[in-house]
Amino acid sequence: VQINSANVVYDNSWLWRADHDAAGLVHKRHNPVETAIEVNGDNVIAYGLAVEHTLGDQAVWNGENGRVYFFQNELPYDVDTEFAEGNFVGYRVADTVTKHYAAGLGVYSFFRDFTVMTETAFVTPKDQDGVILKNPMAVFLN
């Protein structure tokens, strides 16, 4: 999903890249989806946003003055160390954003097929007091 308009309210969505299909488990980056949601518009509010298993950054926020209330994410099961080397995360706020607020964020991982160690689950601009993540949580389930 890509939101390019301003002043959008986005409510109760679950964006999911299939980690299994009719034949069974998905392996080695099959069913390719890079990003679940990319927000480019300003003043976008999301309530109840869940994204799972995409192969790049799960959620990317480029718009100014975005707000998110509840974010749930599971990183993909079937990636290898290239996922960590690419610095992909569950929730990314672009370096150009100066104002963003998100509350109640959770990112968890279970790397089923390979040993993968990510550096972080969340990325925000450095030295931006107007970018606030309230109560973020990351859990490594392996």
Instruction: Give the catalytic positions in this structure.
Output: 74
pLDDT at 108 > cutoff 90 = yes
Q: How confident is the model at residue 103 (pLDDT cuts 50, 70, 90)?
A: very high
Please give the structure tokens belonging to residue 43.
């003043």
Q: What is the dihedral of CA 140, 122, 37, 109, to 10 degrees?
A: -10
What global pTM score does this model have? Answer: 0.94
pLDDT at 19 > cutoff 90 = no
For residue 118, count other CB atoms closer than 10 A to its CB: 20
Average pLDDT, the chain: 94
